[in-house]
Structure 1
Amino acid sequence: MAARDALLKVANVNPASVRTHTDRALYSSVGIFILLYGVYAIVGAASFVDASSNYSHPWWQWLVGPPVAAAVIAYDRAVVGRVAVNYERLDSTDPHHLLRRRTFGLYAGRMLLALLFAVVITEPLMLARYKGEVDAYLGTVHNRQLAQLEHDGAIATFQRQIDALRAQDGADDAAVADLHKLAADKRKESASTYDQALADSRANGVTQRAGCPSGGYCDTLVQQSRSLMDEATRLDGEAAALRSSQEHGRQARTAQVADLMGQIAEQRSANRTSVEAGAGFGARTTAMWHLVTSDFWGFGFFYLGVAALLVCLDCAAVWLKLVSYGNGYERTEAREARRRELSATKRHEQELRMAQSARELAGDGLETVVAERRLMDAAVAKATERLMAELEDQTRLVR
């Protein structure tokens, strides 16, 4: 019997007043819903704490749920176990006078509490349910944010500075390369001129004469080839000198580029940390609602369905109490309460009458005592007067 009454005690009802199978089934169901809500509140509060700590899974997250569940369960038990007894017209036998009209303020407060819990507790549970999808969407958002920061933030400024420094290196390299190219062209021209001189010396050239006499056309070509070769050597020397003069600037720019690359790496790390920090409860809720609105039948339908189911679980116990107003249990409790109140009222009335009679008897006795005291005082006064008169007569005779 104790096991059968356990759920009734959880529902905060008097097992002695539950006399029908219907009422027992009703309040046993209420007890089951209250226990289920306790589990739901504990898990939901732990999920909320976990979400608030950016999913760091603190060990104390399971310590928050039991007090919260106990508080709400106490409220539910107070609502379910309350019987609105009508204490007016206690001597009436009309069943309609047993209970007062329902007070909806109590139920409205519980419904408001259920909605608050639905927002605070149900949302973390739903985020845990769709964690994979939310993480995937947040990854896309974070990559887009990082790309935007790369394009518009400090990294873009640093990159432009690096590009300018590298452009200066390129300009210096181009100047040196131009000198080397000019020198190469001079050598090529010198080789071509020397080939012409050789051809002319073999009687295959312009003069059609063999040999290369001094002052002749062949000799002129040889001198021109040597001049071009000397000029090429001079250009290579100028290129080497230019390269040497650029070395200090190159080293400075290399140091600046290395420093800017370090700043870019630091900025990227800071950007990633900042962007990835936007993965807490608010960001995940935003991601969840984006998934719900963008793919209602894939996410929204089940999201709203599960949320509605949890809200119904939250309100089930109070709802059963609300719709079962005036059942056999409540009428039995009301009759017993009205009987006790009527008995106490009658007893109080009897005590008041006895007290009134006692006061009346006490008042009559007091009046009698006062009258007797007055008579006694009058007799004493009369006797005293006669005694004084006799004493005066005796004194007069003696004289």
Structure 2
Amino acid sequence: MTYGFETLAIHAGQEPDPRTGAVIPPIFQTSTYAQDAVGAPRLGYEYSRSGNPTRDSLQECLAALEGGQVGLAFASGLAAEDALLRTVCAPGDHVVIPDDAYGGTYRLFARVAQRWGLDFTPAKVSDPDAVRAAVVPGRTKIVWVETPTNPLLGIADLAALAAVAHNAGALLAVDNTFASPYLQQPIAFGADVVVHSTTKYIGGHSDVVGGALVTASTDLGEELRYHQNAMGAVNGPFDAWLTLRGIKTLGVRMDRHCDNAERIADYLSRHAKVAQVIYPGLPDHPGHEVAAKQMRRFGGMISFRAVGGAEHAVEICNRARLFVLAESLGGVESLIEHPGQMTHASVAGSPLEVPADLVRLSVGIETADDLLADLEQALG
């Protein structure tokens, strides 16, 4: 039987405990497991780095939500990214990345992977021709995409980029953190692997750090599973349990995030002290039509450029009260930040440097009128 998204979020990988009947899967807070005999572990569990029932529940649920074959949970989104790179790539290989990628992703490539011998080229992922031109024949192993991108909310045509990547003999990896699997399922458009910071919308409550990979093929999934164990950057059972708890309400939360973001984007687009609003749900966004094709709705993230430049952008962030001045995103509470000095400081002076007048909002699920009132006083 085929189930809807919300049903999968509550039930996939989360059968009642067979021993006690507990409706919620237990937290298996253990490092090791008793074995029935030498070489005969019960249900295959030997050591919790290699396998843990709570983490397995989360991994099965993530795969179901993304429509993939294998789900793997990690200690952070960057740990998941690192495992993917070291599984697929070798020194001398090449990756195409977004020209406005998340600052932590850029730092991983520029400060860690490049020293290991991995080359990369930033490209405008909203332009398939630009991505095609960035591919290095025979060397490009991954076309790495965010859609929407962080923080400029660029939209990539996933089906078009899947064709570009596959024609080059490369994988298409899609960071789906901003959209969440509720709003977008990249595997359905040809992606080979989906990346998440589960810290964000999937966890949804700003109380747990984690990451995930979901693969379209079992073979790639098993290769990654080997590296997950060999490299060891797994999440603990309590973190897995918290993430599962957040997943259960992902659908209803995302609908509210989108409701509030649509109202705020409309308000900001008419405000005299806002020079530009960047939100895929606005008809004038250059990626609006593509987003409408491959997303259920347009998400809870908004960026805008302040009239008055960087000084005014910083003032807006400092004056906000209900919007908490903090990094990260995707929680039930609304956040505001200045990317140039916060989440994207690592790209300063690089081709990925973000505009100094940019403000990024993670719109929460509070009462929309209260959020609008806070922005009104913050804008001054």
- Report TM bin, short chain: under 0.3
Report which of the two has the higher share of strand.
2
* Bigger Rg, structure 1 or 2: 1
Q: TM-score, normalised by structure 1?
A: 0.17
